[in-house]
Amino acid sequence: MADLKSGVNPLFLREEDLRQGMELLFCGWRDFAGEPDPLLARRQLGRAHHRAVYFIGRHPGITVGELLSILKITKQSLGRVLTQLVTDGLVVQLPGARDRRQRCLKLTATGEALERELTETQRQRLARAYRTAGAEAVEGFRQVLLGLVDERDRNRLAGAPAPQAPQRR
């Protein structure tokens, strides 16, 4: 298995470095994503709800289809979560102006409050990590992660972190 270490290839491509990166990614995500779990449990919600609320908050007016392509889950899975969020009064669905088939999603005031509360713990964790690592490290962090995501999503993530839903409206 000791195949790569012989090479004079760039240091950061060694087997061991890649392994370490994978593990960091696993643990980083594990602890980051798990942070709001207690808060969610208190409201009978799960991570799926958090993800939906987060992206709706970030892209007010986003359609279900757009949300699906971000979350990469099926309509049905999202539908369940969305139904609960609507009946709980955290999200509203408005028929699209341009295309009335669409349901444009927005957070209610309550939904926004929840989103802020949930994300706050994560924001703090990330901010701490950013502060400790420094601005240059943050830039590297971004670049590597950007290279990790599928081509399709790079545009949305890379340049303009659009605060509202992209192109269509």
- Contact partner at residue 82 from a copy of itself, DNA, none, CB < 5 to 8 Å by partner kind: DNA
Interface with DNA (CB under 7 A), residue from 14, 32, 39, 47 = 47
Q: How far out from the chain centre does Cα 128 lie? A: 18
Contact 39, 54 (CB under 8 A): no
Taking CA atoms, 131 is separated from 119, 144, 157, in Å, by 18, 18, 21
45 binds DNA (CB under 7 A): yes
CA distance 40 to 37: 5
64 or 129: whose CB is closer to a copy of itself? 129
**Residue 140: how many CA atoms within 13 Å on its side-chain side?**
6
- Contact partner at residue 44 from a copy of itself, DNA, none, CB < 5 to 8 Å by partner kind: DNA
User: What's the closest the beta carbon of residue 56 comes to DNA, in angstroms?
Assistant: 12
At 39, list the tokens.
Answer: 């808060």
Q: How far out from the chain centre does Cα 9 lie? A: 33
Residues at the contact surface with a copy of itself, assessed by CB under 8 A: 1-3, 10-13, 16-34, 51, 54, 58, 70, 72, 112, 116, 119, 122-123, 125-150, 153, 157, 161, 163
100 binds DNA (CB under 7 A): yes
49 binds DNA (CB under 7 A): yes
To the nearest 10 degrees (0 to 180), the angle between helices 109-133 and 15-34 is 140
The CA-based diameter of the chain, rounded to the nearest angstrom, is 61
Piece of 72-80, 115-123, 144-152, 156-164 that binds DNA (CB under 7 A)? 72-80
Q: Which positions touch DNA (CB under 7 A)?
A: 44-49, 51, 63-66, 68, 72-83, 93, 95-96, 99-103, 168
